[in-house]
Amino acid sequence: MNLNMNCWMQIIAVSIVLSGLSLFAQEKKDSPASESEEVALAREQMRLSREQVGLLRVQHAKTGAEIERVEHPVLRFTAPLWGGHHGTVWVWGKRGRPVAVLEMFRQPDGRLWNQAFHATSDVPIKLTATNGETWTPEGNSLKIQRLPNAPPPADTPAGRIRQMKAFAQKFTAHEFWTSPPDRPRYELRLIAAPVHRYEDRDRQLIDGAMFIIAQDTNPEITLFLEAVNPVDEANPFWQFGLGRTGLAEIVVLYEDKEVFRAPPLHTEVFAKTNPYWRMKSVFNDSKANDERSLPAVGI
């Protein structure tokens, strides 16, 4: 009796161990596979985005000099509210404040690229698309303002980035979507870490950073915070500028006081001299086929 009982207990114990090993092996098999698929998908999306943005050319509008793009996107995002598309944000200008910002994503059906540009400096620029269409914005719409009630810039880069992060947290924003009749209001949030850092001592720009204010992670507003020391000022100070990446009416507050309001955009987004410009281009994967890129069309 005791012998039989011992045998049964040994059989049960072995079965439990084997089951556990089987489940562990299955988990190890499943987990890397799903992780690998996600990594592969992200890598493919990045390849396509990099290929598309590489077709764009940005130059100084007066001299024709090429303006370099920052090599990597400054932000990758998703937009679950608008169909779940994945997108990237790119900037041109490796020294000082970027001259232009691009938000780019593919439509949910995958047929078209949506591209929204806005000019962000006083440098005159010319952007050329693959079909020869050009965007030559007349100025920008950042409306650079002195940051109210701000202490002087810190002496070190580490101290200044701490200040910029603290300033950024004091900005709040919301937008009213353009669809009538109710024009729903959406609260926006700051992405806490800056997406791009820059300086240009030759232009009295001591330090600067670009932040994103988003709907979830979908960018709607660009926030620029800068420590400057103009030649006609005795001491350096902080300034800020705000730009748009979307079409909705935008309202931004600093310390609960309105500092920026931008109206909803409609047909003016097609004007090639407007600080904000949008276009669509037909998706064309050079890796998959040898078709030529088709002309860009306005959104």
Position 280 scores a pLDDT of: 83
DSSP string, 39-62: HHHHHHHHHHHHHHHTT-EEEETT
- Tell which residue, 284, 280, 296, has the closest CA to residue 116: 280
**Spatial distance between the Cα atoms of 174 and 176, rounded to a whole number of angstroms:** 7
Q: Which residues pair with 250 in a beta bridge?
A: 175, 262
Give the model confidence (pLDDT) of 50-94 as tens digits.
Answer: 888 999 999 999 999 999 999 999 999 876 555 556 789 999 999
**What is the average pLDDT across 197-224?**
95
Give the model confidence (pLDDT) of 119-149 as tens digits.
Answer: 999 999 999 988 788 999 999 989 899 999 9
Predicted confidence band at 294 (pLDDT cuts at 50, 70, 90)? very low
Give the tokens for residue 269: 């987004």
User: ∠112-33-25 over CA atoms, to 5°?
Assistant: 165
pTM (two decimals) = 0.81
Burial level of 270, CB count in 10 A (0-12/13-18/19+)? middle
Distance between first and last Cα of the chain: 83
Extended beta strands in the chain, E state? 57-60, 75-79, 85-92, 100-106, 112-119, 125-128, 134-135, 145-146, 171-176, 185-200, 205-215, 218-228, 237-244, 249-254, 257-262, 276-282
Position 25 scores a pLDDT of: 41
**What is the average pLDDT across 202-207?**
95
- Tell which residue, 58, 56, 69, 77, has the closest CA to residue 95: 69
What's phi and psi for 173, nearest 5 deg?
-155, 155
Contact 240, 279 (CB under 8 A): no
- CA distances 286 to 132, 133, 253, 296, Å, are 19, 21, 44, 16
Predicted confidence band at 4 (pLDDT cuts at 50, 70, 90)? very low
- CA distances 77 to 74, 93, 104, 134, 284, Å, are 10, 21, 10, 27, 21
Give the tokens for residue 206: 């001591």
Per-position b or e across 27-57, b if 16+ CB within 10 A of its CB: eeeeeeeeeeeeeeeeeebeebbeebbebbe
Q: Give SS3 for 4.
A: helix
Position 5 scores a pLDDT of: 43
- CA distances 80 to 5, 38, 108, 216, Å, are 59, 17, 11, 8
Position 281 scores a pLDDT of: 76
